[in-house]
Every structure is written in structure tokens, then in C-alpha cells.
Chain A
């Protein structure tokens, strides 16, 4: 146990890095994903096309490739993120946004078209229809799939370890090589770190799901 005490600072900082990667990227992905969905259901054809293109590109590209491109690819055109943490947040948000958008779109498709038609009949414009009629109902049905996306995101943060961000996985690499005699303890500590993030999330998702459930 003294081993864990000796490496407490590293493990704590690594845990906080993983957590902040997940939270910051999660918020960004939710914002970008919502915008993308709005574009995809909008009446403007070029917007629909652009958003659809974005989703297909990012959903079908491995996350590691997205990381590689942002870390080493855009330097070729003289662009660069201010820090490696921001590079990681950008890669995770851009990638996850595509999945958020797909989840939201499925939610919107689950809102009966009659709802939007009724809103238009009442004289609401597109923005009002979306924000006060369709999206509130759509968000409810997408709580479980969004929960999945969030948990996947929390685990996907581990890819940042390969791109100079000292998260839990990077701490795992560092500690296993230095402490060949303590491998099991190291693994347990790291796995616990991830579970502390994902298990309460799963529980919270369940609570939100029950709270927001509506009878249709």
C-alpha cells in the first residue's frame, strides 16, 4: 500500500486529467453535436449536406487517426493547438460530436411529425419549433444512447495517453515499467480510477432517464 501512497500525486493528477478531458470534451461534443443535428434537420439543403458530411467523416474515422491528424497533420499547414491537452480535447470533441449528433437525430425522428406540424400551424418558426417543441422531447428519448456516448468518451480519453497527455493510461504505462513487482496493484488502481468516473455516470444516467420519462 505504501506504493500507492508514494505515487499518490501522480495518480491523483492523472485521474483529474482524465476526468477533465472527459468533462470538457463531453460539453464541447454536446454543443457541437446539437448544432450539427439542428443543421441536419434544417430546411436549408447546403447545411444538411455539410452536417451529414461531417458526421460521416468523423463517425467513420478511427479516433487515433483524428488525434494523429490534429497533433501532427495540421502542422503541415502551419496550424497548431496551444497545448497538447487542447489538442486532445479538440480530437475527442470533434469525434464524439458525430455520435452525439446521430443519437440526437434518432431522438428527433422519434418525435411524431404531427408535433412539428402542429407547432407550425400555431405559427412558430423553425427555431421556435426546434427549441421549444421538438428538442425537449427528443432529449428525453436520447438519454440512454447519450449515456452510452458519454461512457465511450470517458474511456476514449485513454487515447490521449499516446499523444503526450498524462492521463490514467499514461500513468499506467509509467508505473508498470517502473514497478515490475507491483503490476496487479497498478492495474487495480488505474481500473478503479476509470470506474470512479464511469460507474456513477451510469447510475446518474439511470436517474435522469427515470426523471425525464414521459408517458406518450
Chain B
């Protein structure tokens, strides 16, 4: 008798699981409908990366899982969501790959280059600033967005910080190893820099009054302000240009040119703007900026 009871439970469970997964499937289909239509009939030069991915019918994409508005894992669907994710879906669609067939891999700042070099991911779309040292080891398509370093302060800006020059003599928090932290060290040495490993600790310290400002790319700060609008505000005066690019294997110029074409197409036909409004724009409440100019180096 006991065995039949177990069998019945197992059957019920599997039914429930099947029901769950088909629900998730429907949601994904709906999400896919909103994004760019998948190209079904595409031809790529033989031997190119595009042909290989198209043939395989799937692509592995690295993105952030902890970046509200750009790449944030939805715990319900176990899928990342955000502007970077939408950009990646646009590229996959042009390769003839369904959004459901994209394999998402979490990349953090420190592992993006190795992941590309080892071939663990095909491309990285992860708030990835294009710069010359990185170009030594990987190539970048894009930029598809231009962020800038900005400052977050306590609500109502009690210290009257309007820009990076006002940081002199103040304690300012950022993340160890990040480009914004290095910028403060190099160009604003009078600011007292405190570095943690994640921005949420900076936010805690700002709440406690241990630091007077937090500085990094405006997109990251926007996410933090959106999380606690009663405690923080954004100075809103970006003082650097951080072009976000799509990282891919060094030397794959054909693939890079293809992605650049896709991006320019998306800038023109409005899919880029729609992707912004759906993700980062919805969080920050800002209109889509002018698309940046693709840099074909």
C-alpha cells in the first residue's frame, strides 16, 4: 500500500512540475514576442562564428545577474532581465536563435576576460566598459550605451556635493578594483576613498553616515536610488564617459562587424529604444538617450 502511495505522490508531483514548466514556457514566449522577431532565413559566410552559432541554434551569453535594470536574475523564472539582456536577445534573434535557446552565464567584473578567452561564453553583454587594456585580450563591438561616473549622496544632499571636485576632504565609497575607484585615486586624490567588495555595503555606509558619498557608473547608482528613494539621491552630473561594449573573442573581426551592424540596425528601427524603455528606463524613469556611435576600430 505504501508503495502505491509513494507512486501516487510522485505522479502528482511530476504533474505539478510539468504544469509549472509549461507556465514558465508561456511567459517566455510572451517575452519573446515583445523582443525582436527571430530571423528564420539567414545566410552566413561558411566557417564564420555566425554560421556556427546559427547551425547550433544556441548561444552562450555572459551577463550580470545582480545589476538592476541591466542584468538581474529573476528568481521566479531563473532568467536574467534587463537592458543588457534585451540587447543580447536582439543579437541572438539576428543570428536566428530563439530567446529560449540562449544559455545565460553569470559573469562578474573579474571573470569576463577569462570567460571570453576560454570560450566559456560566446559574447559578454555585462555593463562592460570598453578600454585599451581590455582590448589587449578581447575585442569589443559597440558601444551600445554610454554610461558615466556619477555620485550618490544622502537624501537632500546635506554636504552640498555637486560634482567630483566637491569630494575633496570627504569620504567617498566605491568598489575595490572598479574603474570609478581608480579614477578617484588618480584624479581626485583629496577625496578619501573607502572601498568595499560590493556596492550594497557602500549604500549601508552612506545610510549610517560613515561615508558622505558613493561613486560609480550612474546606471548602478540609479538602481541603488530606486531601491531606497527616501535615503539616497543622485547628483546627476556624470563626469566620465563609460562606453558599454559587447565583449567577444579577440581577432574575430567578422563577428564583431556583424554585431556592429545589428546594433546600428537596432538604433535605427527603434528596437534599441524599446528595449531601454522596457528595462533600465522603467526603473530610472528616464527617456532613452541618444544611441551612441558604434566604434568600428
Q: Which residues of A contact B114 (CB under 8 A)?
A: 183
Residues of B in contact (CB 8 Å), total: 26
Q: Are B110 and A75 in contact (CB-based, < 8 A)? A: no
* Closest Cβ neighbor of A164 among chain B residues: B194
Write 11 A-B pairs (CB below 8 A) sorted by A numbering.
A75-B210, A164-B196, A170-B195, A177-B179, A178-B182, A179-B133, A180-B133, A180-B134, A180-B138, A181-B136, A183-B113
Q: Are A75 and B208 in contact (CB-based, < 8 A)? A: yes
The answer to whether A161 has its CB under 8 Å from any CB of chain B is yes
In the bound complex, how far is the Cα of B134 from the Cα of A84, in angstroms? 32
The answer to whether B204 has its CB under 8 Å from any CB of chain A is yes
Q: Are B201 and A170 in contact (CB-based, < 8 A)? A: no
The answer to whether A173 has its CB under 8 Å from any CB of chain B is yes
Which residues of B line the A interface, CB within 8 A? Answer: 109-110, 113-114, 133-134, 136-138, 173, 176-179, 181-182, 194-198, 201, 204-205, 208, 210
Which residues of A line the B interface, CB within 8 A? Answer: 71-72, 75, 80, 84, 161-164, 166, 170, 173-181, 183
Q: Which residues of A contact B210 (CB under 8 A)?
A: 75, 80
Distance in Å: Cβ of A172 to nearest Cβ of chain B: 8
Distance in Å: Cβ of A176 to nearest Cβ of chain B: 5
Q: Are A174 and B110 in contact (CB-based, < 8 A)? A: no
Q: Are B110 and A177 in contact (CB-based, < 8 A)? A: yes
In the bound complex, how far is the Cα of B196 from the Cα of A183, in angstroms? 21
Closest 8 CB pairs of A and B: A173-B177, A177-B177, A162-B197, A181-B136, A174-B177, A180-B113, A173-B176, A75-B208
* Closest Cβ neighbor of B175 among chain A residues: A173
Distance in Å: Cβ of A145 to nearest Cβ of chain B: 31
Q: Are A178 and B110 in contact (CB-based, < 8 A)? A: no
Q: Which residues of A contact B178 (CB under 8 A)?
A: 177
Residue in A163, A170, A177 with the greatest tally of chain B CB atoms within 10 Å: A177
* Closest Cβ neighbor of B178 among chain A residues: A177
Q: Are A166 and B195 in contact (CB-based, < 8 A)? A: yes
Given A75-B208, A166-B195, A170-B195, A176-B133 contact (CB < 8 Å): no
Q: Are B133 and A174 in contact (CB-based, < 8 A)? A: no
In the bound complex, how far is the Cα of B203 from the Cα of A72, in angstroms? 11
Q: Which residues of B contact A178 (CB under 8 A)?
A: 133, 177, 182
Q: Which residues of A contact B113 (CB under 8 A)?
A: 180, 183
In the bound complex, how far is the Cα of B178 from the Cα of A170, in angstroms? 11
In the bound complex, how far is the Cα of B210 from the Cα of A74, in angstroms? 13
* Closest Cβ neighbor of B111 among chain A residues: A176
Q: Which residues of B contact A75 (CB under 8 A)?
A: 208, 210
Q: Are B176 and A174 in contact (CB-based, < 8 A)? A: yes
Given A179-B133, A180-B137, A161-B208 contact (CB < 8 Å): no
Q: Are B196 and A181 in contact (CB-based, < 8 A)? A: no
Distance in Å: Cβ of A80 to nearest Cβ of chain B: 8
In the bound complex, how far is the Cα of B178 from the Cα of A80, in angstroms? 27
Contact among B134, B182, B196 for A163, CB-based, below 8 A: B196
Q: Are A162 and B133 in contact (CB-based, < 8 A)? A: no
In the bound complex, how far is the Cα of B178 from the Cα of A174, in angstroms? 7
In the bound complex, how far is the Cα of B204 from the Cα of A75, in angstroms? 10
Contact among B137, B176, B208 for A181, CB-based, below 8 A: B137
Q: Are A181 and B195 in contact (CB-based, < 8 A)? A: no
In the bound complex, how far is the Cα of B196 from the Cα of A68, in angstroms? 12
In the bound complex, how far is the Cα of B181 from the Cα of A80, in angstroms? 25
In the bound complex, how far is the Cα of B40 from the Cα of A41, in angstroms? 77
Residue in B113, B196, B198 with the greatest tally of chain A CB atoms within 10 Å: B196
Q: Which residues of A contact B196 (CB under 8 A)?
A: 162-164
Q: Which residues of B contact A164 (CB under 8 A)?
A: 173, 194-196, 201
Given A170-B195, A183-B113, A176-B177 contact (CB < 8 Å): yes
Distance in Å: Cβ of A109 to nearest Cβ of chain B: 40
Q: Are B201 and A163 in contact (CB-based, < 8 A)? A: yes
In the bound complex, how far is the Cα of B210 from the Cα of A180, in angstroms? 32
Q: Which residues of A contact B134 (CB under 8 A)?
A: 180
In the bound complex, how far is the Cα of B114 from the Cα of A156, in angstroms? 26
In the bound complex, how far is the Cα of B195 from the Cα of A166, in angstroms? 8
In the bound complex, how far is the Cα of B210 from the Cα of A163, in angstroms? 13
In the bound complex, how far is the Cα of B132 from the Cα of A10, in angstroms? 22
Residue in B110, B138, B195, B198 with the greatest tally of chain A CB atoms within 10 Å: B195
Q: Which residues of A contact B176 (CB under 8 A)?
A: 161, 166, 170, 173-174
* Closest Cβ neighbor of A182 among chain B residues: B133
* A-B contacts besides A164-B196, A174-B177, A176-B177, 15 pairs, CB < 8 Å: A72-B208, A75-B210, A80-B210, A170-B176, A170-B177, A174-B181, A174-B195, A177-B110, A177-B178, A177-B179, A178-B177, A180-B133, A181-B133, A181-B137, A183-B114
Distance in Å: Cβ of A21 to nearest Cβ of chain B: 16
Contact among B136, B173, B195 for A180, CB-based, below 8 A: B136
